[in-house]
Chain A
Amino acid sequence: MSAKKPTIAIADYGIGNLGSLANAFAYNGADVLVTSRGADLVAADGMVLPGNGAFGACKQAMDKLSISRWIGQRVSGGRPVLGLCVGHQVLFDDSTEFGSHEGMGEWPGTVEKLKAATVPHLGWNTIRPAQNSTIFAGLENERFYFAHSYAVLEWNFDQGIEVMEPPHVSWSNHGGDFIAAVENGPLTGIQFHPELSGYAGLQLLNNWLGTL
C-alpha cells in the first residue's frame, strides 16, 4: 500500500452492521466513509457492500440506491468491490429465501437454504481456500465467524469462457459444502464476517486492501 491512506466507502442502505465494519477498516488504516451517495461509492479506492438478514429486503433497499449500477461502473473500470454476507449473496443470479428474488447476476448460482440440522450456521468455522487466493494468504488454517442460513451450494461458472484469470472459489462446510468466498478480478464476495473474525479477519481485510 502507498503512504496515502486508502479510502473505503461502505454502502449504507439501512441494513448492516455498519459500525463494526467501519471499525475494522479504520483499524487497518483506511479512511472510512459510510454513505448512501452513488458518487461517493464510485469515487472511493474500495467499495464495501455489507448485508444482514433477508436477501429480498436487502436487495430491494440496494435497488433504491442503484447499488448494482455503481458496482457495474466500478468493476468495468477494474476498481475493487467487496460484498460481505448478504452483500456477497446478491452478486449471484437469485435466491430462494422467502420466495424467489433476483440478484445482480455477476456470477451464476442460486442462494439456497443450508442443508444442515441446525440453522442459522452461527459461529467460527474453517475454510478450504482456493489455490492462489489473495485474501486467504497466510490464513489457510484460521477460523472465521459465520452468521447465515442461506448460501450458494454450487459453482456453475463456465470455466470455458475466456477470462483474464478464472475466479478463485473458496469453500466451507455446514451440513454440506457451500461457497465461502469468490475472488474474481476486482469483484470479491465473502459469505462470512471478516470484521468479526478477530485478528485473522482483520488480516484478511488487510489482504484485500492490498489489492486496491
Chain B
Amino acid sequence: MSTVIRVIPCLDVNNGRVVKGVNFENLRDAGDPAELAHRYNNAGADEITFLDVTATTEQRDTTYELVNSTAKEVFIPLTVGGGIRSVEHVDQLLRNGADKVSISSAAVSNPDLLNEISNTWGAQVLVLSLDAQANPAMPSGYEVMIKGGKEGTGMDAIAWVQEAEERGVGEILINSIDADGTRDGFDVDMIKAVRAAVSVPLIASGGAGEPSHFPPAIEAGAQAVLAASLFHYGPDDMIGQVKDAIEAAGFTVRR
C-alpha cells in the first residue's frame, strides 16, 4: 500500500456531548464535540469519526447542526454515523460538512440502502459499521449486533461483510462489542476473519487502551485504527504516541 496507516479518534455523541461507556453502557461525559474535533485536527489525527450513539435507540435523526459546528473545526475527513436511514439523510449530512457516512443498524434492516448510497456518491463515501461479537452458534463464530451492541440479529458477521462489499461499501469499521471499552486491546481474531473475507480497507475499533495495542491490529489486516476514550482521557500527545508505536512496528504514518 502506498497510503499510510490512518489514526482516527472517535467522538461518540449523546445529546450534544461526547460520551464514552464500557460495553456501550454507563455513558460518561468527555466534552464538546466541536472542541474535541478541533483539538484532534490540530494534534495530527488523520480522520475523525462522529457517531451519534443514541440516535438508533431513541429513533431520532443525527443532529445536523452539531455536525455542522463540528465540521467547521475539521479539515480532514469527517465520517458521521448514527440514525442514517435514507439518501436524504446522507445528502443533509454532506451539505453540513460530513465527508463519509457510516451505516450500522439501518443497513441490517434495509440492505438496499447501501446500494442506493454507493450508487449515488460512490463507494468511498460509505463505511459499513460492523458491530459484532463472538457467538459459537454462528458459522464464522461472529454475530452481527444492532442497537448499539445491545441486540443480536442472528446474522453471521462474515457473510454480512461480504454482502455489504458486494453492495458497494468502500470501507468496513470493525467494532468488537466484546472488546469495546475494555482497554485490553483490539479483537485481533475478528479483524483477521474480516480481512480474509473482503478486500476493502478496514478500520479496527474497540478495546484500545495503550499505544502498544495498535500494531497488532494493523498486522491483522487493518488499514486504519480508531479509538475513543484513549484519546479523550489520555494525554494531549496521545495521537503522536500512537503514531510512534505504529512507526516503531515498521508501518508508515503521516507526520
Contact = CB atoms under 8 A, between A and B. Distances in A.
Interface in B206-255: 223-224, 254
B2 interface: yes
Contact of A123 (B3, B91, B97, B120): B3
B96 A198 contact: no
A25 to B, nearest CB: 11
Interface stretch (A52-60, A65-73, A99-107): A52-60
B46 interface: yes
Contacts of B76: 145, 196-198
Nearest to B253: A124
A43 to B, nearest CB: 22
Counting chain B CB atoms within 10 Å of each CB, which of A52, A123, A145, A148 scores highest? A123
A54 B118 CA distance: 9
Interface stretch (B17-25, B122-130, B144-152): B122-130
Counting chain A CB atoms within 10 Å of each CB, which of B68, B72, B98, B118 scores highest? B72
Interface in B145-162: none
Given A20-B97, A53-B120, A122-B124, A146 B3 contact: yes
A17 B94 contact: yes
A124 B71 contact: no
B34 interface: no
B4 A20 contact: no
Given A145-B77, A196-B99, A15 B121 contact: yes
B255 to A, nearest CB: 9
Interface in B103-121: 118-121
A18 B124 contact: no
Q: Is the interface of A mostly helix, strand, loop or mixed?
A: mixed
Interface string A43-86: 00000000011100100000000000000000000000000001
B122 A123 contact: no
Counting chain B CB atoms within 10 Å of each CB, which of A16, A18, A20, A125 scores highest? A20
A24 interface: yes
Given A16-B94, A145-B76, A174-B2, A122 B71 contact: no
B52 interface: no
A149 B121 CA distance: 13
21 contacts: A18-B94, A20-B71, A20-B78, A52-B121, A52-B124, A57-B120, A86-B122, A117-B199, A118-B200, A120-B170, A120-B200, A122-B124, A122-B201, A122-B223, A124-B46, A126-B2, A148-B124, A175-B2, A196-B75, A196-B76, A197-B76
Interface of A: 14-20, 22-24, 27, 34, 52-54, 57, 86, 117-118, 120-126, 143, 145-149, 173-175, 193, 195-199, 201-202
Interface of B: 1-4, 6, 41, 46, 68, 71-72, 74-78, 91, 94-99, 118-125, 170-171, 199-201, 223-224, 254
